[in-house]
Amino acid sequence: MKKIFFICTFLFFSNLFQSPSFPFSHLHAQGMDETREYPLPMVEAEQILSRWLTESGFKIFRNPVGGGQVRITASKGSERWEALLKPSSPLASFLSVRYTMDGQPDRTKAEALWAFIENYLRSPSSEADLSQEVPAPVLSRQGSLVCIKAKMGENPIQFSGFIINKEGLVISTAHDLQGVQEIMVLYNRHPFQGHLVKLDLERDLSLIRTPLSLNPSIPLTKARDLLKDGEKVYAMGCLSNQHQKVYSGMIDGPLRQVNHLPLWQVKMGILPGSSGSPVFDARGDFVGVVKGRYRGSDSIGFLIPARTVLEFLKER
From first to last of its 316 residues, the chain has per-residue pLDDT tens of: 444 444 444 444 344 333 333 334 344 435 677 889 998 888 888 988 988 898 888 999 999 888 889 999 999 999 999 999 998 887 789 999 999 999 999 888 888 888 888 877 776 543 444 445 788 888 888 888 999 988 777 778 889 999 999 888 999 999 878 878 789 999 877 899 999 999 999 999 999 999 887 666 788 888 998 999 999 999 998 876 556 788 899 999 899 888 788 999 999 888 788 899 999 999 999 999 999 887 666 678 899 999 999 999 998 6
CATH topology assigned to domain 220-306: Thrombin, subunit H (2.40.10)
The one-letter code for the residue type at 90 is P
Architecture of the 143-209 domain: Beta Barrel (2.40)
Alpha-carbon span 76 to 166, nearest angstrom: 26
- CATH 3.30.60 for domain 29-122, yes or no, is no
Cβ atoms within 10 Å of 75's Cβ, excluding its own: 14
pLDDT confidence of residue 240: 64
Of 293, 269, 279, the closest CA to residue 235 belongs to 279
Asked if the domains at 29-122 and 220-306 fall in one CATH topology, the answer is no
pTM for the structure as a whole: 0.66
Of 89, 54, 88, the closest CA to residue 72 belongs to 54
pLDDT confidence of residue 31: 60
The one-letter code for the residue type at 57 is G
pLDDT confidence of residue 198: 93
Exposure class string for 172-193: b at 16+ Cβ within 10 A, else e: bbbbbbeebeebbbbbeeeeee
Alpha-carbon span 83 to 272, nearest angstrom: 40
Return the domain boundaries, the chain: 29-122, 143-209, 220-306
Of 245, 272, 237, 287, the closest CA to residue 130 belongs to 245
